[in-house]
């Protein structure tokens, strides 16, 4: 029998998904936010720059894709860190050495594979809302 107080599709639907897929979905959302920020209009500078002093440096497509990926990974990692800090402030508990090691591994080599263990620790604590 289902719990009537739980909205359909909320926690129970996401709990059946593998955590790695949930992390990838979160990274997609971060990528969409990144793209919106990149397309946003920026105010023009009031000072005119001398065009002779400016060197046209167009970033390579591979560099742009890699930069976008790293920015999305960092964004989701910061989101996880914020959620963990709120959890620690609410409960008064300290961080665990295993979580610190997972975070350190992500910082040394940011990737989806190194982000999943960090999310797994927070998922076990019930911190993840996604």
- pTM for this one? 0.70
Residue 127 included in any domain: yes
Counted domains in the chain: 1
The larger pLDDT score, comparing residue 94 to residue 5, is at 94
- 51 versus 10: which is more confidently predicted? 51
Residue 24, CA atoms < 13 Å, CB-side half-sphere: 6
Q: Give me the sign of the Cα torsion angle 48, 50, 51, 56.
A: negative
Could you read off the pLDDT of 69-111 as tens digits, one per residue? Answer: 999 999 999 999 999 999 999 999 998 999 999 999 999 999 9
Does 54 score more than 80 pLDDT? no
> Is the pLDDT assigned to residue 8 strictly greater than 50?
no
For residue 114, what are the domain limits? 18-33+60-130
| Nearest CA among 21, 44, 50, 49 for reference residue 120 | 21
Average pLDDT, the chain: 82
Examine residue 110 and state whether it is found in any structural domain, yes or no. Answer: yes
Tell me, yes or no, whether 1 lies in a domain. no
pLDDT higher than threshold 50 for residue 119: yes
- Report yes or no on 9 lying in a domain: no
């Amino acid at each position: 029998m289902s719990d009537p107080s739980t909205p359909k599709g909320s926690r129970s639907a996401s709990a059946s998904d593998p955590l790695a897929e949930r992390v990838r979905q979160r990274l997609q959302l971060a990528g969409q936010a990144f793209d919106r920020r990149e397309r946003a209009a920026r105010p023009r500078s009031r000072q005119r720059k001398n065009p002779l002093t400016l060197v046209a440096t167009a970033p390579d497509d591979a560099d742009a894709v890699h930069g976008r990926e790293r920015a999305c990974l960092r964004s989701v990692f910061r989101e996880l860190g914020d959620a963990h800090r709120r959890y620690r402030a609410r409960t008064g508990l300290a961080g665990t050495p295993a979580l610190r090691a997972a975070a350190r591994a992500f910082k040394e080599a940011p990737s989806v594979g190194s982000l999943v263990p960090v999310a797994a620790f927070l998922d076990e604590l019930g911190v993840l809302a996604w």
